[in-house]
Chains A and B, each alone.
Chain A
């Protein structure tokens, strides 16, 4: 039972254009969402997060949007750069008083073409 789903295993985008990575979840108890980036032979690194009390969070070129009614979040990268080529994981967590279980999606491999 996959509680966090990333239905696109891969995505290719031209340099300078927008990359949009999508993530769906099923558990309405999740209230904190994160995106991680992973390069080969390295551990995932934190990129950006959003609390369920917000619908948007920005950090430079990265913006995460949350649609609670649709149980959907997306990561926008504008403009995309070749260095953004990596695997991106979305993750979800219940509140601080919860079980500290971070549930991850299956990942989307982004390739930014120069």
Chain B
């Protein structure tokens, strides 16, 4: 049972480049979300989805896009990377009422 799988584990981008962080879960969870972790800031919610075709913004959504075409996948798109988006990104999933299950993260550096 793979749980929540995030790819890539590491990524370096130049300012202005775009990329997609992948997240897949095999637990049939309806809820999925993206967080970023920064020193002294904890985990901050970027976007979340309560089911296929339904997404909403979290605390820090600017500069990121998401879509949810299937239950399993919830990619996070950086449209034009900025140094302020240097962070560790975590994807999480859950079913209604259960705690979040996290992936192992993607460490992104924007130069």
Q: Is the CB of B96 within 8 A of A43?
A: no
Tell me which of A9, A44, A45, A99 has the highest count of chain B C-beta atoms within 10 A of its own C-beta: A44
Q: Once the chains are docked, how many angstroms separate the CA of A46 from the CA of B4?
A: 14
Q: Which of B40, B90, B96, B100 contacts A106 (CB 8 A)?
A: B40
Q: How large is the interface on A (under 10, 10 to 19, 20 to 34, 35 or more residues)?
A: 20 to 34
**Set of chain B residues within 8 Å of A41, measured between Cβ atoms:** 104-105
**Secondary structure dominating the interface of B:** strand
Q: Is the CB of A100 within 8 A of B50?
A: yes
- How near does chain A come to B8, taking the closest CB pair, in angstroms? 14
Question: Nearest A residue to B91 by beta-carbon distance?
Answer: A43
- How near does chain B come to A37, taking the closest CB pair, in angstroms? 11
**Set of chain B residues within 8 Å of A6, measured between Cβ atoms:** 42
**Given A100-B48, A104-B44, A46:B104 Cβ within 8 A:** no
**Given A43-B4, A46-B100, A49-B99, A101:B45 Cβ within 8 A:** yes
Interface string of B49-80 (1 = CB under 8 A from A): 01000001011000000000000000000000
**Secondary structure dominating the interface of A:** loop
- How near does chain A come to B15, taking the closest CB pair, in angstroms? 26
**Set of chain B residues within 8 Å of A106, measured between Cβ atoms:** 40-42
Q: Which of A34, A43, A103 contacts B45 (CB 8 A)?
A: A103
Question: With an 8 A cutoff between CB atoms, is A42 at the interface?
Answer: yes
* A-B contacts, 26 listed (Cβ < 8 Å): A6-B42, A34-B99, A36-B102, A41-B104, A42-B105, A43-B4, A43-B90, A43-B103, A43-B104, A43-B105, A44-B90, A44-B102, A46-B99, A49-B99, A91-B43, A91-B100, A96-B96, A96-B97, A100-B31, A100-B33, A100-B48, A102-B45, A102-B100, A104-B43, A106-B41, A106-B42
Taking A41-B105, A46-B101, A104-B42 as given, write out 8 further A-B residue pairs in contact, using a Cβ cutoff of 8 Å, ordered by the A residue number: A43-B104, A43-B105, A44-B102, A89-B43, A91-B100, A101-B45, A102-B45, A104-B35
